[in-house]
Chains A and B, each alone.
Chain A
């Protein structure tokens, strides 16, 4: 959520605080401020000018020679914008002005004519291209006719506004509105809040004469309010509104669209405007879609609906995908004169499903998904009517045609000062609790230390004692929480299990023997998952476990051996001239004993190793020892000896391994893994040189380790 501080100032008094201090206060007590930026970089000496005349430059087709008055003075300025015209009010950077990017404006000559300044586009004033209204996107910005000549452009365009970006957690959807943010800031700073008015004049004619509302899916749509507004004149919205929208990250379009967006941001309530003349009926029917029913949405895509999608219909066919996107047929256009304005409450999960299914997440769907404030639905519609009346010259028909089964009740939560103190470790008084509730604008009844709190409907997240505990804690301030040590009740000696100790022992042993630990991905691809599966694993296994919707084929299946991903790491190193490698890894493989996975696979810890290149190298004595089978066997035998287990190596054939240089390992007649040289073909497929590997079942290995004896050694290691 992007919050314009200039906009916020309409509701709460924040003038005494720097933006940084305000951001820190909000972060510490409420919602994390993730960014704090000026709306546009600094410009100086840019004022509103009136284009008195505008002629073609005598020596250049694409340039215009303009006489621009900025009050007392008139400047000759050459302008290259295609939309420049006589009679416009424009942004003039006077000679000596500095634009964003430290761009200094000087008197200059262009094709033989003097130019004393520059007429600016919004982009040149530092506004991001994506927020610039389309009509000004490839030219200069034109102010409304009533703009005062000579006025400061920075101020007029809110260029010095500070935008704070709030990182909203899912519970704080109340702050998806300027009013919600205002309540939050009012509570944190303990300042009063000024709420907007929504009054407008309504005509004799009633909305009910033109529309009826019927809701069939009452659970998914407990409130639907329809307003009829006629005599609309589509035009640009007022400058201040465009400024606020751009600051909030929304591109201004026209007064009707901008007003619905403005109200969405102010109240957190999405609205939708249908072109009434294209609505093609006098009745709104809200129902679940039929399977296979189709609608062409505003983005001109045909969407095939199912019975879990909620639609607004005109009684004949869907005209909007409720809470997600309107239909193209009833879209508001420049010719629109009458609109049907929808202010509704749609169930979050229903909207979520549709938005996800069609990949249509929007500002509107996001707010419905998180839950809008029941008490603001109707108000938001009224606010839009007020603005349409004022800024679109419209007439609002009397009354709201409604379906209303919405729950407006405030949740009652009981809190006790003693329980708050018991949970927080604080010693706050009843008065402090009462004061915090007052700051939050929560209604409550107090009986000594018992408070019955009525959580306002804008705070749908407050349901139980602990939710209120958090409210009290954060407004009281986590900085004010004491530092205490847990009491003696649960005194417990911490520690590692025997298996965890064994893991550490094996790791340290192998590291001492010259091996480096790797950590590779558990998810591998369909080809690698079949490689170097140890014989006893292959025997226990029915199928490999694959993700139902992998992000990529590379990471689609859970590994059956750590080795393939390790080999891939070795290849990565070889490609970077790191040729002498001795790696081990201790990690899980995932064995499913079912053809179709229905339960968790068995997770087995495996100890794997890959060695290649020189084992040791003594340069000045010309001694070199490259890794061979017996180097690997030597390391393993030493490891087994350190664990007091007898492991037998027998000649064996394992797929992917050298047929004459591979051993299967047995511990107490259990096959526990294998060791040997890679088969040259497999080696080649990974771009490796002679490579030796081992892969051992760690669990069975742990089972047969004489733990008592091993533990004696551990004490020495661990102490």
Chain B
């Protein structure tokens, strides 16, 4: 009987070994381990033929055989399944070099990218971002900024009037005047104001009746012009245009600052030697700045004997044009998708 079981085991393992489909394996399982299978048969016939002592020995052997066969079956089943899966996956092969399914992609306008970059840069220097109305009163747009009616400098920025007293703002400086007025000299102000501004210019490659401005203001006790130069303008120029850029200040005029300066940065193309980009001067004009005029401080409720401050203003269009070589200001307002997409990663 012992021999009989060992033969059966050998036979079954061989059949398992030979099987190459799950179906064949199932047949082997039924044939050897089923209720009518030979191993069960052997055990059934044990009763009359074996002695009391032999019975547990043979019983144990039969269980071992069953166990071995079952284990072999499972092992083989896993093998066959793996092969079949491999086959199935092979059939599922795709051409991974074909193009992907496109996702709609959009992006910010170049002006937004530039404005946000500048905002973040000044936020890093402790400036707040403030906004204000695009339709302003003559008072905030001009008078509060030391530009009384009849002042010749009003010509510099011929304006779009709605009534005698209401106009489209010609700069974002009225936001500064409004903010100072609101704080009434009670604490320092450190802010930038980005936004749209409007001037009576005929649209051409370098002029636009609507454009963007970012102006900044810092009013506190003992603010010095060297702080403007070192603390703000030089840092701005280097972060915005590159660490190798030098700045230069030269005299200018704005009614709301005194002294007033224009800031140039050294030309990237010629490194100051002079080329066509910088009109042979070695320098490129970037922004206007100056020390806040005492009249402006006074009108906003700041005592000019105690407080001093600086202000600066720049045009994001101009900065974008310099940084990205945009050659016509009208491109910013035409919204040609080919232009816009070119700068989505800007």
Contact = CB atoms under 8 A, between A and B. Distances in A.
Contacts of A569: 334-335
Interface string A603-644: 100000000000111111101000000000000000000000
A576 B339 CA distance: 12
Contacts of A517: 106-109, 112, 340
B226 A483 contact: yes
Given A517-B107, A522-B196, A547 B161 contact: yes
Contacts of B150: 349, 352
B67 interface: no
A431 B224 CA distance: 21
B225 A424 contact: yes
A422 B224 contact: yes
Nearest to B308: A423
A514 B106 contact: yes
Interface in B234-253: 234, 248-253
B104 A514 contact: yes
A522 B210 CA distance: 8
Interface in A546-577: 546-551, 555, 558, 566, 569, 572-573, 576
A500 interface: yes
A545 B160 CA distance: 12
B336 A573 contact: yes
Contact of A484 (B137, B166, B224, B293): B224
B226 A481 contact: yes
B116 interface: yes
B135 A495 contact: no
A609 B202 CA distance: 28
Interface string A442-483: 000000000000000000000011110110011000110111
B123 A494 contact: yes
Given A426-B226, A489-B222, A523 B209 contact: yes
Given A484-B227, A485-B230, A523-B198, A494 B190 contact: yes
A234 B337 CA distance: 66
A521 B210 contact: yes
Place the interface of chain A in its size category. 35 or more
B129 to A, nearest CB: 5
Interface stretch (B4-12, B23-31, B52-60, B257-265): B257-265
Contacts of B133: 600, 603
Interface in A413-434: 422-426
Nearest to B332: A519
Q: Label chain A's interface by main secondary structure.
A: mixed
A483 to B, nearest CB: 3
A519 B333 contact: yes
A28 B252 CA distance: 10
A352 B152 contact: yes
B341 interface: yes
B183 interface: no
Nearest to B334: A572
A486 B227 contact: yes
B122 A423 contact: no
B313 interface: no
Nearest to B150: A349
A603 to B, nearest CB: 5
Interface stretch (A51-59, A71-79, A91-99, A581-589): A581-589
Contact of B106 (A485, A512, A618): A512
A588 B253 contact: no
Contacts of A549: 160-161
A576 B308 CA distance: 53
A470 B249 CA distance: 12
A607 to B, nearest CB: 14
Given A494-B126, A578-B336, A582-B104, A169 B226 contact: no
Contacts of B137: 600
A484 B226 contact: yes
Nearest to B163: A597
Interface in A493-523: 493-497, 500, 504, 507, 510-523
Contacts of B51: none
Contacts of B340: 516-518
B259 A28 contact: no
A348 interface: yes
Interface stretch (B34-42, B69-77, B95-103): B95-103
B143 interface: no
Contacts of B221: 489-490
A254 to B, nearest CB: 33
Contacts of B160: 523, 547, 549-550
Contact of A578 (B109, B136, B261, B338): B338
A618 B126 contact: no
A170 B152 contact: yes
**Listed residue (B98, B101, B293) with the most chain A CB atoms within 10 angstroms of its CB:** B101
B109 A519 contact: yes
Contact of A620 (B98, B249, B253, B260): B98
A547 B200 CA distance: 11
Contacts of A597: 162-163, 166
A441 interface: no
Nearest to B254: A169
B104 A484 contact: no
A590 B169 CA distance: 14
B218 interface: yes
A48 to B, nearest CB: 34
A510 B209 CA distance: 28
11 contacts: A27-B281, A422-B224, A478-B250, A478-B261, A490-B126, A492-B190, A519-B335, A545-B135, A547-B160, A578-B338, A619-B99
Given A516-B109, A566-B335, A573-B335, 12 more contacts: A470-B259, A482-B230, A484-B230, A484-B231, A486-B231, A496-B129, A514-B105, A514-B106, A517-B106, A600-B137, A617-B102, A618-B102
Interface of A: 24, 27-32, 169-172, 348-349, 352, 369-370, 422-426, 464-467, 469-470, 473-474, 478-479, 481-487, 489-497, 500, 504, 507, 510-523, 545-551, 555, 558, 566, 569, 572-573, 576, 578, 581-584, 587-588, 590, 597-601, 603, 615-621, 623
